[in-house]
Structure 1
Amino acid sequence: MTKKEKVQFVIDTLEELYPKTPVPLDHKDPYTLLVAVLLSAQSTDKGVNKITPILFAKADNPYDMVKLSVNEIREIIKPVGLSPMKSKGIHGLSKILIKEHNGEVPKDLDALEKLPAVGHKTASVVVSQAFNIPAFPVDTHIQRLMFRWNLSNGKNVKQTEKDAKRLFPKELWNKLHLQIIFYGREYSPARGWKVENDPIFKKIGRKSIKV
């Protein structure tokens, strides 16, 4: 298969398996999505979805969030891990949103990345899922699968994102990024991976990979 045929096979297979791609993190607007994505770092979506209703019952907008202390936020979000850094980030970005953006989450990637505790991946998720602006956030699943499928060298996240954007049509980026995550969890996990249950790898996977 040519590289073009491999890419089309991935697109077709993922579309067949996951025609609908609901956002895994519960949210109601760009701000609650931003907070949820920040909380999801080194945690599971399931774990975050248990915590956010408690946090958002107290503060679901930056104006209410800054009324809470960093310690109050930390106590609520402790179960998802990295609570010292995340609580400071949530409180800090809320203050900046009020001061510099009229309490609104900016649609601009660069502006988002300037917020405390918001990296490139978090910003990319927010612009793609909250504002439907084409982006290709790369998490551990996408990094792993792009390497396994021989569509990227796995060198680093930056290179994987560059390869994904080069290979896949821009109008599909937002949906594909979720489809690949869903596929990785179900068919191609990091642990307990069974090649016989991984239809895409069986068709296009790199031959030298260790199973």
Structure 2
Amino acid sequence: MHDSVNPLTGMVAMVNMMVGEVIFGGVGAGLYGMLLFVLIAVFLAGLMIGRTPEYLGKKLQAREVQLLVATLLVMPVGVLVLGAIAASLPGPAGAVSNPGAHGFSQLLYAYTSGTANNGSAFAGFGANTVFHNLMIGLAMLVGRFGYILPVLALAGCLAAKKSAPQGLNSFPTHGPLFTGLLLVTILLVGGLTFLPTLALVPSAEHLSLGF
């Protein structure tokens, strides 16, 4: 049924998954996705105020930041890299039933859903081929274990650290200031990663409706 929705409606469904399902409408494991964004926001705050970032008394050092960066690569690899491979090959691209921007939306949604969720697709996308079954299956593996392993390693690193009492100079991780920083982090990290792709497909399709 998603194949029949308006372009911007389909884009909303994709964006909900692209940002890690951390907002209403994104069904999935959004809790650890939000916690990852919280830690990234804490790291950015530490850079801005010139202090070692810390969260709940646990300092975020090089190891934790490396694991955070690893999780940031999961969605781009599963969606953009695998989707680009599928779009660039003539055989797999034949699964698209609608030429133009909407056809690319079909392919983009399939790989977004495969990486972030349960692998649903626009009804017009012929995903039941050997290539797409293997590639979307690979996207599911990347989307699951690409998050699970770094998150578990990150939890282990933080659990092994001793808690330090928060001082007056510690950046508060509550209140409107941190909420605003967290929102900006989600928009910057999640939004800018996929903004060029979304501008090429659902946005372009929406603009074409007026001509």
TM-score normalised by L of structure 1: 0.24
Query: Higher RCO, 1 or 2 (CA under 8 Å, sep at least 6)?
Result: 2
